[in-house]
Chain A
Amino acid sequence: MSQHASDLDFEHDGHHQGGGHPSVLFYNIIAISLFVVTALEVGVLYPPLSEAGTYFRVILLIVLSIGKFAIVVAFFMHLFFDAPLLTFLFAVGMVIATGTVAALINVMPAAEHPLQPRGKPKHPPVESATPAPHALLEWKNQRPS
């Protein structure tokens, strides 16, 4: 069998991959902007800010890394230029994964909320952690004799 794509291409809007590849210059611009964003991310850590600034920084960091994520997916991985079907496939995974992770973090008993400012560790270092007791359970002779 050798069905040519064109013969089978009855449903798709004719959006073929290979239609127009972005130029090298475009890639370079994207790459440089990614470097800049990464530098910003690291830079966010340094200016001394108050408590309120902490929230600002957290939000900024999250926004910046979502931005980076989106840029790589859209342009380096071509989702922006490629068939919408592929975006759909990936989005299914991303949406369910993001939702599940968010729910899990919130439903688990947290020592402290992972996204909450924290001071010193709540648990002081334990001197010598006792090794867990090895199983002493003997189920072998269950039959009453």
Chain B
Amino acid sequence: MSSEVLLDNPHEMGCTGLPHRKILMWAFLASDCMFFGSLISTYLVYRGHSTDHPLPEDIFDIPLTSTSSFVLLLSSWLMVLALSAIQKGKLWEFRLWTLGVAFFGSIFLGFQVYEFTHFVHSGLTLKQNLFGSTFFVLTGTHGCHVAIGVLWLMSLFFYSFIGGVTKERSLDVEIAGLYWHFVDIVWIVIFTAVYLLEYII
């Protein structure tokens, strides 16, 4: 952080040498661990409790979900590139990568919409059985997080055109990036716990 930022926003930096917002963000992510922990444990605890079909083995489609996992991973990659670009002051590169993150985030959401529609057509709804309730609420909440992230990144993208995103204010991007990567690691857990394990046990 250079001193311009401090003049711009004197309340930014604290006595540990870290900016306030970074501490806030990490504490929030700790909190979000409990949030997704509760959702994931709901899913796992209710595994095998459904009284009606369809069950996961009836409808999961691993190639599809694997593709969307790759897409989310790709967006995480672009996110670090975007941050690295803005930290070096390369504004155009930042815009390109950010747009890429938002784009792949949207593709991920598209996959999810497709998956949900497909499941509903196969008879799995929120109220059909416990699997439907737990699955849709878990992955839907994750999807909402992704959507918020896309909105956030697009705001940064547009904000960069009125001078809001600069090398000196790269913290804004870093914070958004932390959020984005967290959404990605939650998916890493969901992908394994909900989808992959289903194929083995």
Interface size on A, residues (CB 8 A): 73
B7 sits at the interface (CB 8 A): yes
Chain A proximity of B142: nearest CB distance (Å): 15
A14-B17, A58-B201, A118-B201 given; A41·B196 CB < 8 A: yes
Cross-chain contact A114 with B191 (CB below 8 angstroms) = no
B145: which A residues are within 8 A, CB to CB?
Answer: none
B11: which A residues are within 8 A, CB to CB?
Answer: 1
Cross-chain contact A72 with B50 (CB below 8 angstroms) = no
Cross-chain contact B1 with A101 (CB below 8 angstroms) = no
Cross-chain contact B41 with A35 (CB below 8 angstroms) = no
Cross-chain contact A27 with B23 (CB below 8 angstroms) = no
Q: How far is the CA of A42 from the CA of B188 in the complex (A)?
A: 12
Cross-chain contact B80 with A17 (CB below 8 angstroms) = no
Q: How far is the CA of A22 from the CA of B87 in the complex (A)?
A: 11
Residue among B53, B196, B199 making CB contact with A125, cutoff 8 Å: B53
A126 sits at the interface (CB 8 A): yes
Cross-chain contact B191 with A65 (CB below 8 angstroms) = yes
A57: which B residues are within 8 A, CB to CB?
Answer: 200
A80: which B residues are within 8 A, CB to CB?
Answer: none
Cross-chain contact B44 with A114 (CB below 8 angstroms) = yes
Binary B-proximity of A1-45 (CB < 8 A = 1, otherwise 0) = 111110011111011111001111001101100110010011011
- Provide a sorted-by-A list of 7 A–B residue pairs whose CB atoms are within 8 angstroms: A8-B17, A24-B84, A34-B77, A38-B66, A94-B30, A114-B48, A121-B48
Closest 5 CB pairs of A and B: A93-B30, A97-B37, A111-B48, A31-B77, A97-B33
Which B residues have a C-beta under 8 Å from some C-beta of A?
Answer: 1, 3, 6-7, 10-11, 13-19, 22-23, 26-27, 29-34, 36-37, 40-41, 44-45, 47-53, 55, 62, 66, 69-70, 73-74, 76-77, 79-81, 84, 87, 177-178, 181-182, 184-185, 188-189, 191-192, 196-197, 199-201
